[in-house]
Structure 1
Amino acid sequence: MPEEPTPPAMLPSGLTDECRSLSADQLQVLAKYAESLAEYQDRREAEKEASKNEPDDRPDVVPAGASVTVKEINDNRYRYWQWRDGDKIKSKYIGPANPDD
């Protein structure tokens, strides 16, 4: 008879106990859900991190869905708001990417 796997130490014991009570089919479904949830959490964290780098003073002409991009021009880096308006991509200058430069 195969040995039961050892649960990861970082999981709460109540969760591992609950998992032991599930059938193999339920565990497969749970594994797929957990993978999807982990990807979602990663994307949320990445979006939160990206929003920390966005300036707080968004001009009125810049829509809420705009993102900040960095463009290199003549060996200098500049930040711009950028968004899609129909078939066009629009930009609004923010300032140097590294204000100390």
Structure 2
Amino acid sequence: MTHEPPIPPANLPTEVVNTLNEATAERLREIATYAEALAEHKEREAPVKKAADQDEVEERPDDLPADVPAKATITIKEINDNRYYYWQWRDGEKVKSKYKAPVNPDD
């Protein structure tokens, strides 16, 4: 059995490593018990949070094409004195559009 201290995970913050290194064996066991209970709690809560996040997703309109994201809105563009509906959405820094239909003046 080696007398070398264990190597902490590389992604563990230095201040956490320093705090743990300064703690007594009894305190480390208390921390381990708490950390394990907290990890179990977060694992149980994760599916609940994920389900809540999915509930917030808006439903897709029936006439929305498959290649147009649900966040798209309808805008009207005028071209040569004719008006047309377009789906429009932001994709990164760009605004993208896709033709929908002509605007019916009787609407």
Q: Give the alignment's TM-score, normalised by structure 1.
A: 0.42
- Choose 1 or 2 for highest CA Rg: 2
Q: Give the alignment's TM-score, normalised by structure 2.
A: 0.40
